[in-house]
Amino acid sequence: MCFKELEESFKDHCGIFGIYCPDGKLDVAKITYFGLYALQHRGQESSGIAVNDSGNIIYHKDNGLVNEVFNEVVLNHLKGYSAIGHVRYSTTGKSDRENAQPLVIKYRKGHMALAHNGNLVNAHIIREKLEQEGAIFQTTIDSEVIASLISRNRIKSENIEEAILKTMDEIKGAYSLLILTPNKLIAVRDPYGLRPLVMGKINNSICFASETCALDTIGAEYIRDVEPGEIISVTKSGIKSEKYNNNTKHLCVFEFIYFARADSYLEGISVYEIRKRLGKQLCKESYVDCDIVIGVPDSGTTAAIGFAEEAGIPFSEGFIKNRYIGRTFIKPEQTQREIAVKIKLNVLKNNVAGKRVVLIDDSIVRGTTSRKIIKMLRDAGALEVHLRISSPPVLFPCYYGIDTPDRKELIAANYSTEEIARILGADSLEYLSLNGLNEVFDGKIYQFCTACFSGDYVTEIPGNFNKYILEEGV
């Protein structure tokens, strides 16, 4: 089997941020801008902000990074007392401008803006049914299916919260939502809590974000995580919470391993500390006698520090990262991706030349970038390169907002560990075990989704899901 030169590692999901300022004293658009800036690592294709201006929803969105889409002129136009924002990487739907969020729609009982982080597994089934009934869709994203269902259910509901509960009966998969109406800001998390969502407070304003790092950036106080299946409505009258039935915690474990920023807290747990513990546990399972330990920036660095401490081997910087480009897989065109891989990292030759190196990374998906990085170390004079991965082998695709739609693209699903080491050019390769991952989480791994390692999905996956993804152009 020959693997294509596809981008390495997972594609990110999205990041969402929202704020409700009842007295209108805060510049909600600018605060949302800075909140999205802190979440830029979660999506780098498009960004957008919608603001409630005295009952009217105005918005601006486009393809590009947050600082490319927004400037002072645009932000000064977005005035109001509540706002939601979104940064996106496409996992369902093409990276076209019309797929940028928030989605703003008008319907019989009013209008709303919606920002979505996650992926539905039955969106194609619902969309086909709605289209047969005459519904018209303007985008190719599953978020519009959610918006369409809420607007339809609202017609026969006493309020929008009831419409959301009815919609939750129909949709399956991962979703953290922020919904802006003429008089409310509503936060929603799916019954499994697959995607993160936290609540904070700044002055007398309530805000929501995908990660606590966004709260820190704007100077907000963390209150708590939005619970799985919870609907929180914020109005001038206060905060109201209600729960969907049958809720269980299954936050995506890769949020800790890779996606979230190291300075964030998820479910009250430090991402940095978990990554350090992953490195320590990895060393306990797969120690190798070497001269230095280095990490692949940035997500492999913290695990490398933990590995080095446990092993008693010096931690050293092996690479200098170009901070002015995004993650390699963000670039949609193959030629752009290849250039990005070459300029993203540069080896510190004096640190690795003549050394036996332990190289720590968070995961191997397709292996293309890992192979290039190991070659860079060899070319710089490394005597040995032993690759250690701070997560178990990725054997199964994710259907909840990470773009790994086909097992044929997953190198660990098709080759043995020894074969992968040869393919990548490493002297040895070891992964963290599932038992070891459980140890890191104090025996509570059952509270997280580990489907990409185990194949145990928290929802039923429709048989034609892969076909739908391919047709949508991901």
Rounded mean pLDDT of 237-242?
96
Catalytic residue among 14, 213, 283, 290: 14
Rounded mean pLDDT of 336-348?
70
The rounded distance, in Å, linking the Cα atoms of 102 and 241 is 23
Output 173 or 337, whichever has higher pLDDT: 173
pLDDT of res. 136: 85
The rounded distance, in Å, linking the Cα atoms of 342 and 165 is 48
The CATH code of the domain at 275-440 is 3.40.50.2020
pLDDT over 90 percentage in the chain: 77
pLDDT of res. 335: 53
pLDDT of res. 408: 85
Rounded mean pLDDT of 249-274?
96
Binding residues, as ranges, are 252, 299, 361-362, 398, 449, 452
CATH 3.60.20.10 domain position(s) in the chain: 15-250
pLDDT of res. 331: 46
**Would you call 213 a catalytic residue per the annotation?**
no
The rounded distance, in Å, linking the Cα atoms of 201 and 197 is 14
pLDDT of res. 323: 67
Kindly report the CATH class assigned to 15-250: alpha beta
Sheet with 185-189: strands ordered across: 103-107, 110-117, 176-180, 185-189, 230-235, 238-243
**Residue 305 clears pLDDT 80, i.e. is over it:** yes
CA angle at residue 12 from 11 to 15, to 5 degrees?
Answer: 160
Region of poorest pLDDT, from 98-112, 256-270, 417-431? 98-112
**Helix (H) / strand (E) containing 408:** none
Binding residues for [4Fe-4S] cluster, as ranges, are 252, 398, 449, 452
Q: Which residues contact 251 (CB under 8 A, 6 or more apart)?
A: 193, 194, 195, 196, 266, 267, 447, 448, 449
Mean pLDDT, the chain, whole residue set? 89
**Residue 326 clears pLDDT 80, i.e. is over it:** no
pLDDT confidence tier of residue 342, bands split at 50, 70 and 90: low
pLDDT of res. 469: 45
CATH 3.40.50.2020 domain position(s) in the chain: 275-440
Binding residues for Mg(2+), as ranges, are 299, 361-362
